[in-house]
Amino acid sequence: MAIALHERLDLLAKLGEYLLSADERLLAYVQRTHFHNPWFTPENQQMSMQAIAEEMLDRTKLEAWATAAAVPDLPTGPKNIGIVMAGNIPMVGFQDFLCVFAAGHHAQIKLSEKDKYLFPFLVNWMGTLDERVADMVSFTERLTDFDAVIATGSNNAFRYFEAYFGKKPGILRKNRNSVAVLTGKESEEELRALGKDVFQYFGLGCRNVSKLYVPSAYNFDPLLEVLHEFRDIVLHEKYKHNFDYNYAMFILNKADFLNTGSLILQENPSLLSRIACLHYEYYESSEDLLTKLEDQREGIQCLVSGNSLENWNRLAFGSTQRPGLYDYPDGVDVMQFLLRL
C-alpha cells in the first residue's frame, strides 16, 4: 500500500525530531562516519543534521512547501528516481532524497564512498516507524532501471553523467562555488558571520564562500583580524596538512598572499580556491562588479552580501550552510522537475 502525502510528511517531520535527539544509535553512526572519513567530524555532522531538521524537516515548513508545490496525495504511476549523491560535506544530498520521498516516488540512491553509513541508518530508522518506507528507498552501487536521475558531482564526473544519463530526464550538477561581495563598511558581526560561510565544513561545500569581491583600496585588516578568530580549525590534521602545503607552495613560488595563520587569501579571478585558501578580486565600481559577477553566473551557487544587487538573489552573512526547502542547488526546482515526470 502506498504512503499518502500526509503520512510521508509526518515521517519526515519525525525524522527531523530524531536528528535533534541524542539517541545513542544515531551518535554511534556519527562516530563511525567520522572514523571512516576524518573530514566529517562529529561537530560538522551535528551541524548538518541540525540545519536539515530546522530548515527542511520542520512540520509547518514542510506542509507549507508541499501545499505551495501542489504535491499530490499519491503520484500517478510512481517513478524510479536515481540519485547520485556527492560526498563533500555531511548529508549533502539530503534535499534530493527529501523531494523524491515527499513526491511519493521511489528513490534509488548511490551514496558517496565518503558518506555511506549515516544515511542508510536514518532510512532504516524511518522504516521502523512505517515498514512501507522500504518500498520507497533503496541503495545501490550502480543505478539501473531508473526513469529519471538527479546526479551531483565534480566537473569530471559531470562528463560521465552526461554520457550515462543523458538519454533520461535528469538534473545533472557539476562544480559551483559561492562568493561574498564586500563594501568595506561591514560590521564586525557581519565579518564574523562571513567567517562561518568560509570555514564551516572546512570550506568543502559548494555553498561555502570561496571568493570575495572587494572594492579597490579595500582595507583587509578588520577582516583578517576577525578571520583569525577561527584559527582553531588548523588543529584538524587534514586541514592543517592542506594549509601547510599551500603555504609552502606560495612561499616557494614567491607569490603575494595574506595569511591569518589558518587561511591564505590570494588575489585570483577563479571562483574555486584550494582548501585553506580564499580568493579575492577587486572591483572598481558597481557596474564593474555586476559585470564580473555576470561573467561568473553559471559557476556561482550562492552570493552573500549586506546590500542588494540588481538581478541577484543574495543571502545574509552567515547563512549559506542553512539552506531551506526552496534553496534548490543551482536554482533548479527539484520538486517541480519530479511533478512534471
pLDDT along the chain (341 residues), means of 10: 94 98 96 98 98 98 98 92 97 97 98 97 98 97 96 89 90 96 98 98 98 97 98 98 97 96 97 98 98 97 96 97 97 97 93
**All cell numbers assigned to 66:** 508541499
- 5-175 folds as Aldehyde Dehydrogenase; Chain A, domain 1 (3.40.605)
Q: What is the pLDDT of residue 28?
A: 98
pTM comes to 0.95
Q: What is the pLDDT of residue 152?
A: 94
> Helix %, strand %, coil % for the chain, to 5?
45, 15, 35
Query: Using CA atoms, how far apart are residues 257 and 250, in angstroms rounded to an integer?
Result: 8
With cell 540519485, the residue in question is 83
Residue 193: partners with Cβ closer than 8 Å, 6 or more residues away: 316, 317, 318, 319
User: Is the CATH number of domain 177-305 3.40.309.10?
Assistant: yes
For 20, which DSSP code?
A: T
What is the location of CATH 3.40.309.10 in the chain?
177-305
Residue 256: partners with Cβ closer than 8 Å, 6 or more residues away: 266, 267
Per DSSP, the three-state class of 312 is strand
Helix ranges restricted to H, 166-278: 188-199, 221-227, 237-252
Query: Using CA atoms, how far apart are residues 300 and 219, in angstroms rounded to an integer?
Result: 25
Q: What is the pLDDT of residue 76?
A: 87
Q: What is the pLDDT of residue 160?
A: 87
